[in-house]
Structure 1
Amino acid sequence: MSRSLLVLSGGHAYEREPFAELLASVSDWDITHLMHPKAEDAVAGGAARDADAVLFYDMGGYTFADNWVTSRPPSAAFRRAIIERFASGRGAVAMHHALAGWADWPEWHEMLGGRFLYTPGQVRGEAMLDSGYRHDVQYTAQVAADHPVTAGLPGQFPVCDELYLAEIFEAEVEPLIRSDYAFTRDNFYSAALGISGTLYSNVGWNHPPASNLVAWHKTVGNAPLVYLQFGDAPQTYANPHVRQALANALNFIAGEQP
């Protein structure tokens, strides 16, 4: 029997056809794909309530203009719909730039288990520098747990993808997959410099080392949430191990076991 999957995207550029091929590779799902701003209104109106799974591949709340960014929180109805979904026991998967979404909704990042900052800001009451990014990193993903999300994956597998030097609440999540890349300042670029027009620079930016987790599981309300940092570009979408991890994650949060 087909299951319902609601996919949310928008707020961050991506290549639509290769991403659609990734979604098509995940079998036995009846997929509804909504983009912001329509996605926010639809979820606020109840679109996520009964879906068997929700995939967040969105980065809501930002406006990029004049070499800077402004942000806003989601509507109260959207926030309520997401919280009520988790409270009802229905889970979700979040991918890649969802870690940066809804900068003005701190509870979102508590749900996800981490936060990517485009500009310096506060995380759990502490001042933090903007986060780091690095495109097209060739790294080895290392499975860190025997878990339904990692079922069928080799212990190590190659990935080429964008990585983040960001705030991960590692003590409060179940680690699933790590990267062998060095998550240190010298290997990343400043997000704030990037949006101000100085791309691929870390001059004057001294972000401390951060977690090498690229996939984890946590409980939100009464429901499971899986975050996968995979997902920047077509070569990542086409990676069979990334496809397996996504399929496993969706099955897991919908209550299916391998």
Structure 2
Amino acid sequence: METIDHHAAIRVLAAVRGHPFDRSAFAALFTDMAGISVTFVDQPAAALLMRPALVDAFDVLLLYDMPGIDFAAEQRASAIGPDAATREGITALLDRGIGVVALHHALAGWPGWEAFAEIIGGRFLYRPATLRGTARLDSGYRHQVHYTAEVAAPLHPVMAGLPATFDLTDELYLAEVFEEDVTPLLRARRAFVRDNFYSATAAIEGRMFSNDGWSHSPGSDAIGWVKKARRSPLVYLQPGDDDVTYTNPNYRRLVENALRWTASPEAHAWAAA
């Protein structure tokens, strides 16, 4: 457990692990955020803390993790858990009300728990699965894509101080987005079609950068959104793969705004309404 503390009024628990990342570079993302304290806890220990009492110690739960996936199983990326206690704990925590900011690969978390996709507002699938009663193909990925991000909700507090468009170089997902249930904040000027992405199942089976035999339908270009997660305000931001993005000043502003807004009384009143 590591904490970055700037005599903070906003206390953040960051759940990490499950996907490779540069820990030092990610931690540096928060070093100049005045008034924000971030405590990092690795999964699976972080899941044990996701109970209603967490609200007494932290204002925001930051998800930069990918729990519930077994990459060492005979069928790689098999879904595991969560157990009933974890499901009940997370549900009760969200019912009590805590700010939630989910980043990048958190969209793939807990594939064995369909309700978690409803909490986040979508899902990245490593393997084909049934979601909302419909069979879905595995999701797509593409590393180091140069693209323009476009603000979709300029009046929302999470977008404060950001230009109408800005450039990013990051990994994009062709994933399941429940766009009818979220308010898009950010869109990517990029065609989210099969030819621009690679199959996640092919990658975990040893065929990196392949979309042979994979016929995924076009997907949403929303790469950031806000939604109610039961009685908790949640922001999901798809960017966040590596230090190229961590050091982008517009991305840093985006994450900081998300943390401050989800911790605010206004956000909590909105989520509870």
Q: Tell me, yes or no, whether TM beats 0.5.
A: yes
Give the counterpart of 1:61 among 61, 64, 68.
68
Query: Does residue 113 in structure 1 map to residue 100 in structure 2?
Result: no
Give the counterpart of 1:205 among 203, 214, 222.
214
Query: Does residue 188 in structure 1 map to residue 210 in structure 2?
Result: no
- Structure 1: which amino acid aligns with 2:108? A
1:211-222 mapped onto 2 (5 Å cutoff) = 211-222=220-231
Shift of 1:165: 0.2
- Structure 1: which amino acid aligns with 2:247? A
Query: Does residue 38 in structure 1 map to residue 45 in structure 2?
Result: yes
Shift of 1:78: 2.2
Kindly provide the CA deviation profile for residues 103-124 of structure 1, in whole angstroms up to 9, marking residues without a partner as x: 0011110010001100011010
Correspondence for 1:229: 238
Q: C-alpha separation between the residues in 2 aligned to 1:46 and 1:118?
A: 32
Whether the 8 Å contact between 1:44 and 1:77 is mirrored in structure 2 is no
Q: C-alpha separation between the residues in 2 aligned to 1:48 and 1:38?
A: 17
Give the counterpart of 1:102 among 103, 110, 118.
110
Correspondence for 1:149: 158
SS of structure 2 residue aligned to 1:199:
coil
Tell which deviates more after alignment, 216-225 or 180-189.
Answer: 216-225
Correspondence for 1:3: 10
TM-score (norm 1): 0.95
Correspondence for 2:251: 242
TM-score (norm 2): 0.90
Shift of 1:42: 3.0
Tell which deviates more after alignment, 28-37 or 78-87.
Answer: 78-87
Shift of 1:101: 0.6
Gaps of at least 5 residues in structure 2 are 1-7, 267-273
Q: C-alpha separation between the residues in 1 aligned to 2:53 and 2:96?
A: 13
Correspondence for 1:91: 99
Whether the 8 Å contact between 1:85 and 1:91 is mirrored in structure 2 is no
User: Cα 1:49–1:116, aligned 2, differ >3 Å: closer, same or farther?
Assistant: farther
Whether the 8 Å contact between 2:68 and 2:81 is mirrored in structure 1 is yes
Tell which deviates more after alignment, 140-149 or 217-226.
Answer: 217-226
Q: C-alpha separation between the residues in 1 aligned to 2:41 and 2:53?
A: 13
User: Cα 1:181–1:25, aligned 2, differ >3 Å: closer, same or farther?
Assistant: farther
Task: Report percent identity of matched pairs.
Answer: 46
Correspondence for 2:59: 52
Whether the 8 Å contact between 2:193 and 2:217 is mirrored in structure 1 is yes
Shift of 1:40: 1.9
SS of structure 1 residue aligned to 2:252:
helix
Query: Does residue 13 in structure 1 map to residue 30 in structure 2?
Result: no
User: Cα 1:229–1:25, aligned 2, differ >3 Å: closer, same or farther?
Assistant: farther
RMSD over equivalenced CA pairs, Å: 1.6
Correspondence for 2:33: 26
Correspondence for 2:140: 132
Shift of 1:46: 4.4
SS of structure 2 residue aligned to 1:25:
coil
Shift of 1:67: 6.9
Gaps of at least 5 residues in structure 1 are none
Shift of 1:28: 1.2
Q: C-alpha separation between the residues in 2 aligned to 1:30 and 1:69?
A: 33
- Structure 1: which amino acid aligns with 2:81? P
Aligned pairs, how many? 257
Whether the 8 Å contact between 2:227 and 2:234 is mirrored in structure 1 is yes
Whether the 8 Å contact between 1:178 and 1:213 is mirrored in structure 2 is yes
Whether the 8 Å contact between 1:49 and 1:81 is mirrored in structure 2 is no
Whether the 8 Å contact between 1:11 and 1:59 is mirrored in structure 2 is yes
Whether the 8 Å contact between 1:45 and 1:77 is mirrored in structure 2 is no
